[in-house]
Amino acid sequence: MSGLHFSRAEHEQRIARARAALSHEGLAALLIFSPESHFYLTGYDSVGYVFFQCAVLTTDAGPVTLLTRRPDLQQARTTSIITDIRIWLNSVDVNPAEELKTILAERGLAGTKIGIELDTFGLTGVNWELVRKALEGWCVLVDASHIVRRLRVVKSPAEIFYVRRAAELADASLLAMYKRIGPSVLESQIAAAGLDVILAGGGDTPPAGPLVNSGLRALYGRSVCGPQHLGQTDQVTLEFAATYHRYNVCLMRTIVLGSPLPAHRRMFEVTRDAIQCMTESVSPGRAIGGIDDAHRRAFDSAGFQVHRYSACGYSLGATYRPSWMDVPPMIFSGNPTLIEPGMVLFLHAILSDVDRGLAMSVGHTVLVTDDGCEVLSKLPLEFLISTD
């Protein structure tokens, strides 16, 4: 039984585009350490990237070669189109970079210019040092983290199918978490309610989160350990990814428990207006930094400049732990990256009023279309209040 989530023909087309990009930049091969690149090009689906794991893609028609550990052998065979799988075994003096060099020598790559993915959680500093020392003077290594990344940022119709399913799960998850909010409820109970819907709906465990922060924690931009109980009146910030076949769709909301303050209502109105302006600014051919320009104008003109963030979102795709963020591109003013149809972007408008201890946020995921974008969430942008 095949474990592929895409057709073999689609994977072969992706590999062909990657080889063309390598040739364009004068590279003879690419050392692939990013698990996202493994998944995109070949279907290989494993968290074995926490160890030394590298795939070799050459510009010629030779097979993709994977160097990995024994626990990942069967997954590589059944979840990918890779046929040449090499195993390195743990021992006191093992150096998998030397085994990688042997593979490169077999492919006649001595003295050539070879790209390597450095900007990835799949390559630690220690392993990079092993590779650098093993290949120093033997070939020329250059950072080519962008090669597959640029291909991945625009989604195919088959990928968009999975993205849409993730969006459905995200809406259901948000509603489940909203219903679970109440006095004395643990933050982790709210997170569990959202995760249950995603997993019961056939989704995957998200690569991070969910973030459920109450009280002053609602102002945090990251999750923290040690769940706390909600008060009789409170504010709860939810930020999470719903994941389907590794593809992520994110939502973000701040929910008020009990009677909201007038300041909360005002902050919501401004935040809602900001996310709408940001969404309207998404258009193919424009620089992605323009989305943040719209974000800044909306908040700054309303007097909230000191309470907003200096970036307002990022690309989403199929990612592995520790993050659902699939960057670059990040959305910040001045970023010249052009928006293209098929991009999936998470836009967030966040206010953190540290002086008053008040938070408000709205975030949703959009799919770039030929003439604008489609908001993937079907939920209305309402001021969410829990009175339970």
Evaluate whether residue 2 is within a structural domain.
no
CATH of the domain at 207: 3.90.230.10
Distance from C-alpha of 43 to C-alpha of 36, rounded to nearest angstrom: 9
Task: Give yes or no: residues 178 and 147 share one domain.
Answer: no
Q: What is the pLDDT of residues 15-56, one digit of tens each?
A: 999 999 999 999 999 999 999 999 999 999 999 899 999 999
Distance from C-alpha of 105 to C-alpha of 112, rounded to nearest angstrom: 11
Last residue of a domain, one of 126, 152, 178: 152
**153 pLDDT higher than 90:** yes
Evaluate whether residue 1 is within a structural domain.
no
pLDDT class for 2, splitting at 50, 70, 90?
low
Share of the chain above pLDDT 70, in %: 99
CATH of the domain at 17: 3.40.350.10
Evaluate whether residue 90 is within a structural domain.
yes
| Contact between residue 25 and residue 114 where contact means Cβ atoms under 8 Å apart | no
Distance from C-alpha of 72 to C-alpha of 76, rounded to nearest angstrom: 6
Task: Give yes or no: residues 249 and 222 share one domain.
Answer: yes
Please report the pLDDT score of residue 1 as a whole number: 41
Task: Give yes or no: residues 199 and 291 share one domain.
Answer: yes
- Tell me the sheet residues that pair with 214: 236
Evaluate whether residue 368 is within a structural domain.
yes
Distance from C-alpha of 107 to C-alpha of 78, rounded to nearest angstrom: 25
Evaluate whether residue 194 is within a structural domain.
yes
Distance from C-alpha of 219 to C-alpha of 237, rounded to nearest angstrom: 8
Q: What is the pLDDT of residues 208-233, one digit of tens each?
A: 999 999 999 999 989 999 999 999 99
Last residue of a domain, one of 152, 173, 192: 152
Rounded mean pLDDT, 63-68: 97
Task: Give yes or no: residues 284 and 196 share one domain.
Answer: yes
107: DSSP letter: T
**175 pLDDT higher than 50:** yes
Task: Give yes or no: residues 17 and 52 share one domain.
Answer: yes
**388 pLDDT higher than 80:** no
Q: What is the pLDDT of residues 343-365, one digit of tens each?
A: 999 999 999 999 999 999 999 99
- Exposure of 24 in the CB half-sphere (CA atoms within 13 A): 9
Evaluate whether residue 253 is within a structural domain.
yes
What is the residue whose two structure tokens read 């989305």? Answer: 291
Please report the pLDDT score of residue 3 as a whole number: 85
**Report field, pTM of the whole predicted structure over 0.85:** yes
Q: Provide the domain limits for residue 83.
A: 8-152
Task: Give yes or no: residues 175 and 136 share one domain.
Answer: no
Task: Give yes or no: residues 314 and 376 share one domain.
Answer: yes
Please report the pLDDT score of residue 54 as a whole number: 98
Dihedral pair phi/psi, residue 104, rounded to 5°: -65, -40
Tell me the three state secondary structure of residue 376: coil
Task: Give yes or no: residues 140 and 185 share one domain.
Answer: no
Task: Give yes or no: residues 249 and 375 share one domain.
Answer: yes
Total domains, the chain:
2
Please report the pLDDT score of residue 27 as a whole number: 98
Last residue of a domain, one of 152, 184, 208: 152
Chain centroid to CA 208? 9
Share of the chain above pLDDT 90, in %: 96
Closest CA to 315 of 337, 290, 293, 286: 337
Rounded mean pLDDT, 266-277: 97
Task: Give yes or no: residues 245 and 138 share one domain.
Answer: no
Task: Give yes or no: residues 54 and 192 share one domain.
Answer: no
Average pLDDT, the chain: 96
Task: Give yes or no: residues 247 and 380 share one domain.
Answer: yes
